[in-house]
Structure formats: C-alpha cells, structure tokens
Amino acid sequence: MKLYEFQAKEVFARQGIPVPRGRRASTPAEAEAAARELGRCVVKAQVHVGGRGKAGGIKLVETPAEARAAAEALLGKPLKGFLVHHVLVEEALPIAAEYYLSVTIDRTPKRPVMIASAMGGVDIEEVAASTPERIARLVIDPAYGPMGYEVRMLCDRAGFEPRVRRAVGDIAHRLYRVFVESDASLAEINPLVVTEAGTVIAADAKFDVDDNALFRQQALVAYREESEEDPIEAEAHRRGVNYVRLNGDIGIIGNGAGLVMSTLDLVTRYGGRPANFLDIGGGARAEVVREALSIVLMDPNVKGILFNIFGGITRGDAVARGVLDAVSTMDIRVPIVVRMAGTRAAEGLKLLEGSPLIPAASPAEAAKRVVELVKQRR
C-alpha cells in the first residue's frame, strides 16, 4: 500500500522528522486559503508516483491567487496516468542543498538497508546508473537497528556537509524506527533539504507499507480509504480479492496473474475491452470464485464475463462448482464464457453441461465468443 506524500509526511512528523508546514487541498479555494496562511509556497499534485516535478506536478507560487490557479491546473486532471484528487500546499523552502535518504529491504542480505546520497532531488536511479560512487549504503542488523557510529559513517560516505550530520543522523534513526514500526517496504525522503540557514527538513516523502502487514497496521489502513478512488477496488481489497478496475465492459477472471494478463490481451485483440483484472490465485475454491464473480458484477459496465482457468493446484471441478453455486444464488444477467484446462478440467466442463454457462475449447475461442456476445448487447 502506497501512501500519498501528505499522508507520509503526517507519519514522519509523528515520529519527529521535520517536515514543511503545509495543508492538503481538494479545491482551488482551499489551496488559495492555505497559501494565504503559508505565504510563498509550492503546490504539489498528490499522486502515487514519483517524478512529479519533471512532469509539471510541482508548482512554485508567490501569491494566494497563483496558488489557486496552480491548483486549478492540477486538480481533476491526470498526471503521469493518475488522476489528481488533492494537492499539498506547502511553505516554500530556501533550498541550499538536496540530499537523498531512504530505508528499504535489500533482498540479498534479507535485511533493511539505509541509502544516503548528497545527490538528492533527482531520480536516485539515475544517480545509481551514472555515478554509483555517490550513493552510500548501510545494511542494518535488525536485531540491533542502526548504530550511532554506523549512521555517522554513512553520512560521511554520502558526502553530507559536516554541519548537518547531527541533524541528518537524528532523522535517519527516526526514519528507521518508523520503517520498522509500520512494517514499511520503503521509507524515502528525496529531497532531504538543507536550507540556507542549515536546518534539515523532509521536502518530499514516500512511504510504502507491506500489504501483508496491514492486519496489524490499523492506523495506516485508514489512509487507504482516503487514497482509494475506486469503491469496487476498495471493496475487493477488504475481501482480499486481487482486482484492478479497467474501463471496458468484459469482466475477466482467471488464475495466475500472467494468465489473466494474457487473457486481457486476447480480449483486446479480438476487439473487446476488458472491464477489470482479477486473479483468483492458485488453489481457488468455490467460495473464492463466488467472491470474484460478485466483485466483477459490482461494475455496472460489465456486459459479459470470461473465465480463463488453467488447472494446476486449482481444480476445474472446484471452479465449476463455484461458478454454478454463484450463478444459482446470484441474479446474473450477463453471459459467462468458461475456458478450462488442466487438473480436472473435463470434470469441471461436465458439471457445467446443462447450465447457462458457455464452454470454450481454447483461450482464443473463449475471447472471440465473449466479445461477440457483448457486442450484441451494446
């Protein structure tokens, strides 16, 4: 789960990491009011993606009227493929230097790693590619956390100015603490700004929480409600269904992300438009299948459904039972095409005989069939 910058900064501030004064705004009027309070400021589009600066999502403004205009230009419009619902209006900082500081998991030593660089503000991936020697890393023993001397050496290797090392070190320890306590997979500050007066402050914040830990991160789950724009996706998450809403009219359900993706491609190739991605995963039982169908049918655009099941651990007969069970208990008014292969596929298809479900021999045939049926209903 990704947090928005304004949410991440709330989390960081609670941990004592200095962040700029700021207000979230969802309308141009709110942005204008915030700017009146804050003075010269930056208006920042809140989307779950980095590189907003280069894409025009960060605007420096001098007056409340300019803040209003900047918010108007950003709100309700897409930025790097994401619709902007909120902006963050923040006091502008007198920037002297931009550093980079983050904590993430390094899968090779299977430990948290702290990454620091004096080349902040730009894409860290670019720095890593062109001048890797400018990036310093500290692999952390989770039993002890980062030691004071280790962090001091990291700051030294990163090339941080001596006068700010104490302040940066303090932030580094707090960043590690919030990373561990929140079961984060990434806690990143880029840029960590050194102001002209020599104070250190987190001008940007990225925070990703491991979805598998959300059961014990209730305080953070509240942020998800706030950040999730699509109500069906939100409901799917609550029920533990792996669902992404798309804008077509053919519901897609399959097992395995790769199979579902290729099914989306096939449907598109035969002239259809997928309404969603939904992966029921391996070993899916009847209950899971029913849940999946009910999520897909929450989308009123759906005019037909394609099931593409490749039985491995997942058994064809179990899926067939799930579909039949769902069809008999739910009021389904759209055609459902089923393609099944692999473990107990024959048994599954046999169970479907005599039901309104439409069997198909291959993925291509299934895709063609569902596209035809949906076209008739448009």
- Measured from the CB atom, the residue of 24 and 52 that comes closer to ligand GDP is 52
Which of 117, 190, 227, 263 is the binder for Mn ion (CB under 5 A)? 190
The active-site residue out of 5, 32, 66, 188 is 188
The minimum distance between CB 1 and ligand GDP, in angstroms, equals 18
- Measured from the CB atom, the residue of 42 and 266 that comes closer to ligand GDP is 42
Which of 42, 114, 116, 267 is the binder for ligand GDP (CB under 6 A)? 42
Check residue 343 for interaction with Mn ion (CB under 5 A).
no
- Measured from the CB atom, the residue of 5 and 299 that comes closer to Mn ion is 5
Task: List Cβ neighbours of 230 (8 Å cut-off, separation of 6 or more).
Answer: 245
Check residue 90 for interaction with ligand GDP (CB under 6 A).
yes
Check residue 95 for interaction with ligand GDP (CB under 6 A).
yes
The answer to whether 32 is a known catalytic residue is: no
Of 124-132, 202-210, 266-274, 281-289, the segment contacting Mn ion by CB under 5 A is 202-210
Check residue 204 for interaction with Mn ion (CB under 5 A).
yes
Burial of residue 78 (CB within 10 Å: 0-12, 13-18, 19+) is: exposed
The active-site residue out of 4, 99, 100, 243 is 100
Crossing angle for the helix pair 28-38 and 64-74, to the nearest 10 degrees? 140
- Near ligand GDP in 245-264, by CB under 6 A: none
Which of 30, 32, 66, 204 is the binder for ligand GDP (CB under 6 A)? 204
- Measured from the CB atom, the residue of 204 and 279 that comes closer to Mn ion is 204
Of 175-183, 196-204, 248-256, 356-364, the segment contacting Mn ion by CB under 5 A is 196-204
Q: How far apart are CA 54 and CA 50, in angstroms?
A: 9
90 binds, among ligand GDP, Mn ion, none (CB under 5 to 8 A by kind): ligand GDP
- Measured from the CB atom, the residue of 20 and 348 that comes closer to ligand GDP is 20
Instruction: Give the up-direction half-sphere exposure of residue 112: CA atoms within 13 A in the CB hemisphere.
Output: 26
Check residue 50 for interaction with ligand GDP (CB under 6 A).
yes
- Near ligand GDP in 129-168, by CB under 6 A: none
Which of 23, 24, 52, 321 is the binder for ligand GDP (CB under 6 A)? 52
Check residue 191 for interaction with ligand GDP (CB under 6 A).
yes
Which of 53, 145, 281, 342 is the binder for ligand GDP (CB under 6 A)? 53
The answer to whether 270 is a known catalytic residue is: no
The minimum distance between CB 50 and Mn ion, in angstroms, equals 6
Cis peptide before 191 (omega within 30 of 0): yes
Indicate which residues carry an active-site annotation.
100, 188
Q: Which residues bind ligand GDP (CB under 6 A)?
A: 20, 42, 44, 50-53, 58, 60, 90, 92-93, 95, 98, 121, 190-191, 203-204
